[in-house]
Structure 1
Amino acid sequence: MSELDAATEGDAGPAEGEESAEPKSRHRLRKALIGLGACAALLIVVVFGAGLYLQHKLTSQIDRIPNAFAGLTDRPAKSGDAVNILVMGSDRRSEKQTTGGDAAAESWIPGEQRSDTLMVLHVDGDRDGASIVSIPRDSYVDVPGHGKDKINAAFSYGGPALAVETVENLTDVRIDHIALIDWEGFERLTDALGGVVVTVPETVKDTKNDRTWTKGPHDLNGEEALLYVRQRYGLPGGDFDRINRQQAFLRSLMGETLSGDTLSSPTTLYDVLDAVTDNLSVDEEWEVGDLRGLAWSLRGIRTEDVDFTTVPIKGTGMVGAASVVFLDKPAGEQMWAAMRDDDFDAWMAEHPEVELPAKVR
């Protein structure tokens, strides 16, 4: 078995039994402020009204990632006053929690954990908006020291530091901070909100979990939400449709979080903040004061101020026995240049065709 196959065994672009196909469009996802680090920042700012004790209790629950930038040299320049955060969801192989203050298992064990979800969160320098770019986990890129491979293999091979180096190598964008969360965090957050409503446009069968999602609205609890965002088998676009589902769910999740019912209920608000901070890990260089400062500067942001997109895709194909995603390098370079120049809003305005549709499969 090749290094690529060994490190990413079980991953695929389109679902099993389906042909690889170029996605119909590059997905621009306009949704809530959730790229985990952003979500924590926005939610933590609400804590300021609850007193210093509560601030300390909740922020102290956030786990710290040591040596997240160890050994990195010749890095891209900072993007002015903008802040770029690499957000990764852990595809853990342990049944135990791997992120946050109650983590009972290592967040990274060489060769065992991959980054199931990978996003770059860009907070505008003027703090009037933010953007998140999703990078498909099967993107075929250069992984420093390992040649061409799927981008999620970087976390498996070298942990957070190699993941950062790989993303910076791909984008030429400076990563200022890292945020990690496993799906346990989303499950707890969904339950803390009392459920999150999503709408399924057409009935679809999850062939792997023997679950049928009927057409119409679904009020999901935490366990159901995990099934919804993780489904790939049975979806026509495989992993691309799963990315869309994750983004659509997160949009609904943030809408519930910022609703008047949540913000006006001390108990619900505390449960939401507790779920986020207790399942979040960030780099140890990210001081609590800086995190609170970023949160405070984002206090006026709402869902309509946040843009989501997926890195431009050229198509899919096979490398050996592995299904991979080929990125559109020229289009991607233009997009990443806009992020470097802190001019992402203008780039998004020029590419309205990549907006996430109101309904996703």
Structure 2
Amino acid sequence: MDAKEHEDEPTGLSLFDDPDDPDDPDEDGSDGSDGPEGSDGSEQAETRRRRRSRRLLVWTLAVLLVLLGGGVGGLYWTAEHYASSVERIPNAFPTVPESEQPKPVPHAGQTFLLVGLDARSDVPTTGATAKAPAWKEGAQRSDTMMLMHISADRKSVAVVSIARDTWVDIPGHGKSKINAAYSWGGPPLMVQTVQNLTGIRIDHVAVIDWNGFKALTDAVGGVDITIPKTIEARGDARQWDQGTHHMDGAEALLYVRERHGLPNGDLDRTKRQQNFLRALMNQTMNSGTLSNPSRLAGLLQSVGDVVSVDDRLSNTDLYDLGWSMRDLRADGVRFMNAPFGGYGDEGGQAVVYLDSGAADPLWAAMRNDRMDDYLAQHATSSDTLGESVR
């Protein structure tokens, strides 16, 4: 099956999908105003920027699990206040014996499973905030899945997307698309499925609802996205003109939902999602948001409104993690897709196969905190997010 055929296959509603789009049915349910570099006082400006950056509380969500704050007065109170607004997910991990789970590797960083859900049906009135609902059997599929590995030295983050239609073994259910695991067994089965697939012990789980990216984008004043080549309108899809676009939350969601005209269908759309997250992160760190108390408060509140994390992650844990990542820079966050092994058909379902031979070294690198080396060796791979994204 070619990419065009696959991109039109109904495969479940993604975090970025539009429920009103007939092509996307649901199967289940600062610059800191310091002046330009090289101007008078630039050395002092750079010193101030570095000092301010060191004060930042950075919570990476990839979508990134982005929660940035604490650069204002009352650091601990601020962190505690907004951390408390993040909903906790009980019983998020599998209860199978330790002998049946991957062994944790000491001093090898932390790995989050990031899950995107659609919660729009929970919004009672126009303008109300969506919140990822508690799991109900068969009610929803996790259609955006990313593994986010934070290195032990806290200097780098690697985010790996797993295609929602990846054909895998789901414990107790046989083979199916990976996004069915959440529908059948919620976070515990999703975690168990990903652990079995990768051999990586998942340390924490984060769930974000669809509206989160829109709110976060607007909270930082929009993002700049470059379209390398014009993509003509197709059906109800709009035309995307070549060039750099400053997108608000609504337009950014259109960008990441789009798949028509993209040669590799959902795989290209996954790269758009990653590209958007990269742009959101860059805008957050460079737009003055972190030095503007009002804008910062809006950003933090947006995160608290749309993010849930497992109940093993306390407020203190979030604070400590964020503080430990205070020196992380935008170029220290890298994105890629799990190695693509081709499209296929399983019982009339369009599926994606993982290239297991290529994936094994990736999972080993993440498991053993060697992602910097792995990404350096695979910098030109088509699975790695480059600067130019369709």
TM-score by length of 1: 0.85
Kept in 2: contact 1:69–1:164 (CA 8 A): yes
- Aligned residue type for 1:158: G
Kept in 2: contact 1:85–1:120 (CA 8 A): yes
Q: Please, which of 52, 62, 82 is the counterpart of residue 58 of structure 1?
A: 82
Kept in 2: contact 1:111–1:157 (CA 8 A): yes
Q: Please, which of 177, 182, 186 is the counterpart of residue 209 of structure 2?
A: 182
> Residue 33 of structure 1: CA displacement?
5.2
Query: Helix, strand or coil: the match of 2:239?
Result: strand
Determine the structure 2 residue equivalent to 1:360: 389
Determine the structure 2 residue equivalent to 1:116: 143
- Aligned residue type for 1:10: P
Query: Helix, strand or coil: the match of 2:113?
Result: strand
Deviations 1:24-66 (Å, cap 9, x if unpaired)?
Answer: xxxxxxxx954246423xx14x357443432232111100111
Kept in 1: contact 2:89–2:309 (CA 8 A): yes
Give the whole-Å Cα distance in 2 for the aligned partners of 1:134 and 1:299.
Answer: 25
Give the whole-Å Cα distance in 2 for the aligned partners of 1:324 and 1:345.
Answer: 30
Query: Helix, strand or coil: the match of 1:278?
Result: helix
Question: Which stretch shows the higher mean deviation, 212-221 or 102-111?
Answer: 102-111
- Aligned residue type for 1:207: R
Kept in 1: contact 2:94–2:191 (CA 8 A): no
Does residue 317 of structure 1 match 2:344? Answer: yes
Determine the structure 1 residue equivalent to 2:198: 171
5+ long unaligned stretches in structure 2 = 1-8, 15-21, 24-58
Deviations 1:161-206 (Å, cap 9, x if unpaired)?
Answer: 1000000000010001000001211111111111111111122245
Kept in 2: contact 1:131–1:308 (CA 8 A): yes
| Structure 1 segment 172-211 matched on structure 2, within 5 A | 172-205=199-232, 207=234, 209-211=236-238
| Structure 1 segment 84-163 matched on structure 2, within 5 A | 84-92=111-119, 94-96=121-123, 106-163=133-190
Deviations 1:193-251 (Å, cap 9, x if unpaired)?
Answer: 11111111122245354322111121111111111111123322110110111111111
| Structure 1 segment 231-246 matched on structure 2, within 5 A | 231-246=258-273
5+ long unaligned stretches in structure 1 = 1-8, 18-31
Going from structure 1 to structure 2, the CA distance change for 1:142 and 1:220 (only over 3 Å counts) comes to same
Kept in 2: contact 1:80–1:342 (CA 8 A): no
Give the whole-Å Cα distance in 1 for the aligned partners of 2:105 and 2:183.
Answer: 28
Give the whole-Å Cα distance in 1 for the aligned partners of 2:237 and 2:362.
Answer: 39
Kept in 2: contact 1:37–1:179 (CA 8 A): no
- Aligned residue type for 1:78: P
Query: Helix, strand or coil: the match of 1:213?
Result: coil
Kept in 1: contact 2:64–2:277 (CA 8 A): no
Which protein shows a greater Rg?
2
Query: Helix, strand or coil: the match of 2:95?
Result: coil
Determine the structure 1 residue equivalent to 2:294: 267
Determine the structure 2 residue equivalent to 1:77: 103
Going from structure 1 to structure 2, the CA distance change for 1:129 and 1:210 (only over 3 Å counts) comes to closer
- Aligned residue type for 2:105: S
Query: Helix, strand or coil: the match of 2:288?
Result: helix
Q: Please, which of 239, 251, 254 is the counterpart of residue 227 of structure 1?
A: 254
Deviations 1:79-120 (Å, cap 9, x if unpaired)?
Answer: 3231110001113462529xxxx6666232211211121011
> Residue 272 of structure 1: CA displacement?
1.2
Determine the structure 1 residue equivalent to 2:5: none
Query: Helix, strand or coil: the match of 2:252?
Result: helix
Determine the structure 2 residue equivalent to 1:22: none
Give the whole-Å Cα distance in 2 for the aligned partners of 1:233 and 1:111.
Answer: 28
Kept in 1: contact 2:92–2:205 (CA 8 A): yes
Kept in 1: contact 2:233–2:240 (CA 8 A): yes
Q: Please, which of 87, 92, 99 is the counterpart of residue 68 of structure 1?
A: 92
Question: Which stretch shows the higher mean deviation, 309-318 or 259-268?
Answer: 259-268
Question: Which stretch shows the higher mean deviation, 144-153 or 337-346?
Answer: 337-346
**Count of residue correspondences:** 331
Deviations 1:335-355 (Å, cap 9, x if unpaired)?
Answer: 111111111111111112223
- Percent identity (aligned): 45
Give the whole-Å Cα distance in 1 for the aligned partners of 2:135 and 2:242.
Answer: 39
Give the whole-Å Cα distance in 2 for the aligned partners of 1:318 and 1:345.
Answer: 35
Deviations 1:128-182 (Å, cap 9, x if unpaired)?
Answer: 2121111111111111111111111101111111000000000010001000001
Give the whole-Å Cα distance in 2 for the aligned partners of 1:150 and 1:224.
Answer: 29
Deviations 1:274-299 (Å, cap 9, x if unpaired)?
Answer: 11122110001111111111111000
TM-score by length of 2: 0.79
